[in-house]
Structure 1
Amino acid sequence: MSMISDDSETDLEKCVQTYEEEEIELPENSSGAKLTYFLAPYFFEKTWIDDIILALLGAYASSCAPLAYFCLRDFYDNKIETKLSDLFSPLWMIIHYFLCFTFSFLNFIYDRKKVDIETKALRKLLKEVAQVDLTGDPVAWRRIASRVNHFSEEGGHHYSVFYSGEHCMHFFVREIVKPIECQTYDIRCYYEGKMYGNFWKDPPNKVLAERALANYNKSFENFGELSHTAEKDECRDGIFEKYHNIFNISMVYFMIIETVSFVVMIMAFIISMISCAIFNLFATAQ
């Protein structure tokens, strides 16, 4: 009995030693890596150029409301001269530029938390989930995320796929477990930059996904916990998402108010011109 116990302890020590020898590198480990994970694609993929252009367009488009106001004002009071600086007020445009740029930037950060995974990296993820002891290894998902990141970088991808172990786990549950659980089998990935939606239809991929799911199920006492786990996502919940939602809702209401104001003033201007033309017509006729 003691011999069996000693053998078990020896195997456990070997397992722990093997785990300790493997270095786990993830963006969440350091502040610099965190910034690189979220911001590197923003600059190197030149997304910031698109955001600057869109913000400038938004700033110039925001001048429509002042234009409608000054047209209406000049119609009733032509004593006040309207200057170009009134139509394109620097302060007004700077505020709108800042809001538009912040809107685009926050949406980029939010979308960055989604994973556009390549087909090969997805296969690597499924292989790791199928092989790793999810119950015995306390940092199994961190280890899987690190291995997939290294594999992706070796394949020519410039950025890490997963931010953390939890990010990796929630991606697996959301993108692999849920489609199989709901029997939609809509497992999406990317191949050479294009979305590849037939991952499940490929027999080797199907077998690999089933093996990974079977090993994942072993780490839970019942299947119901999968749904509970899938609903929690560190990349969707938290302070950032709350502020992101508040900012987006505020921007929508702000745009609605400006649009309604512009439409009302334009309609008032058009009605005023038509009314004035009718009155002048009757006055001329008399």
Structure 2
Amino acid sequence: MSVISDESEKDLEKCVQKFEEEEIELPEDSSVGQLTYFLAPYVFEKKWISDIIASLSVAYISSFVRLVYFSLRDFYDNPYELKVLDVFSPLWMIIHYFLCFTFSFWNFIDNRKNVDIEKKVLQKLLKEVAEMDLMGDPLAWQRIASRVNHFSEETGYRYSLFCSGEHCMHFFVREIVKPIECQTYDIRCYQEGSTVVNFWKNPPNKALTERALANYNKCVESFGKLSHTAEKDEFRDGIFEKFHSIFKTSLFYLVIIELGSFMIMMLTFIISMISCAIFNSFATPQ
């Protein structure tokens, strides 16, 4: 009995030593890493170029509202020498530009919580979940996320898939556990740019998924807790929620400015129309 106990202790020490030697690198470990996780794809994939072009287009198109207003005003009033700045007002265009650009940028940041995972990377994730000691290792999901990130980079993906261990865990619950719970078995991934929706129908993939799910089920008391975990995504309520709150507040104030400008324009137009009608009625010969 003592020999078996000594061997178990040695195995445990080796396991702990192996975990200690493994370096876990995740974007959540530093503020710079978090900013890089969110902003690197936006900058290096040149998404900002299309957002700038779209925002400028919206800003210029919005100026046609002012052009229509000045045209109607000139029709009912004395002709007025229309200047370019009257139509393409800098303040008006800046408001519309930042409104559109902020919305596009916030939408990109918010969509970073949705991981587009390749088939090979998903297989790597499921293999790690199936083989990892989820109950005994307190950093299990951090290790899984770090290993999957490194593997995805080796396969050609330039950016980290998961920001943290919680992000990885909630992705697994949301995209793997919940479809199986709901019996839809709609496990989505990508292969060479096209969506693969029959991941579960492939026998080796199905067996790997079942192994990962069986190992995960050891960490929970019942399937009810799985559903609760799938719905309560702390990662969404954490880092992403902070960005969401910032941009939501910014958009709120920009919309208020937009509505205020629109109401002023409408009131000015209505007052002008009423004034013209009153003056014309007095000018009509009796």
Provide TM-score, normalisation by structure 1: 0.84
Residues 55 and 100 in structure 1, CA contact (< 8 A), matched pair in contact too:
yes
Most deviating of 194-203 and 143-152? 194-203
The amino acid of 2:66's aligned partner reads: P
Report the 3-state secondary structure (helix = DSSP H, G, I; strand = E; otherwise coil) of the residue aligned with 2:236.
coil
User: Where in structure 2 are the equivalents of 1:62-141 lying within 5 Å?
Assistant: 62-141=62-141
Q: Check whether the contact 1:127–1:212 (CA below 8 A) recurs between aligned residues.
A: yes
Q: Name the counterpart of 1:280.
A: none
Q: Whole-Å Cα distance in 2 between the matches of residues 248 and 4 of structure 1?
A: 64
The answer on whether the counterparts of 2:189 and 2:196 sit within 8 Å (CA) in structure 1 is yes
CA separation in 2, counterparts of 1:268 and 1:78? 16
**Structure 1 residues 137-176: aligned runs within 5 Å:** 137-176=137-176
Partners of 2:102 and 2:251 within 8 A in 1 = no
Structure-to-structure mapping, 1:1-286, within 5 angstroms? 6-237=6-237, 238-246=241-249
Unaligned runs of 5+ in 1: 270-274, 276-282
Q: Deviations over 1:104-156 (max 9, x none)?
A: 11111111221000110000000000010100010000000011011111111
**Are 2:95 and 2:258, in contact at CA under 8 Å, matched by a contact in 1?**
no
| Secondary structure, aligned partner of 1:236 | helix
Instruction: Provide the rounded CA distance (Å) in 1 between the counterparts of 2:265 and 2:207.
Output: 58
Take 1:200 and 1:10, find their aligned partners in 2: how far apart are those partners? 39
Q: Using a 3 Å threshold, how does the CA distance of structure 1 residues 114 and 267 change in structure 2: closer, same or farther?
A: farther
Q: Which runs of 5+ in 2 are unaligned?
A: 278-283
Give the Cα–Cα distance (whole angstroms) in 1 for the partners of residues 49 and 148 of structure 2. Answer: 30
Looking at structure 2, the residues matched to 62 and 107 of structure 1 have their Cα atoms a distance apart, in angstroms, of 21
CA contact (8 A) 2:179 2:186 kept: yes
Question: What SS is found at the alignment partner of 1:63?
Answer: helix
Q: Distance in 2 between matches of 1:249 and 1:127?
A: 44
Coordinate RMSD, CA, aligned: 3.1
Cα offset, 1:36, TM superposition: 2.1
Once the two structures are TM-superposed, the CA of residue 50 in structure 1 deviates from its matched residue by 0.6
Q: C-alpha distance in 2, partners of 1:214/1:253? A: 51
**Residue pair 1:149, 1:160 contacting (<8 A) in 2 also:** yes
Query: Deviation string for 1:236-255 (max 9, x for gaps)?
Result: 22332334445556777877
C-alpha distance in structure 1 between counterparts of 2:206 and 2:153, whole Å: 25
How far is the alpha carbon of 1:45 from its aligned partner?
1.3
- 1:268 is displaced (CA, Å) by 12
Helix, strand or coil: the match of 1:149? helix
Q: What is the Cα deviation at residue 214 of structure 1? A: 0.7
Identity %: 67
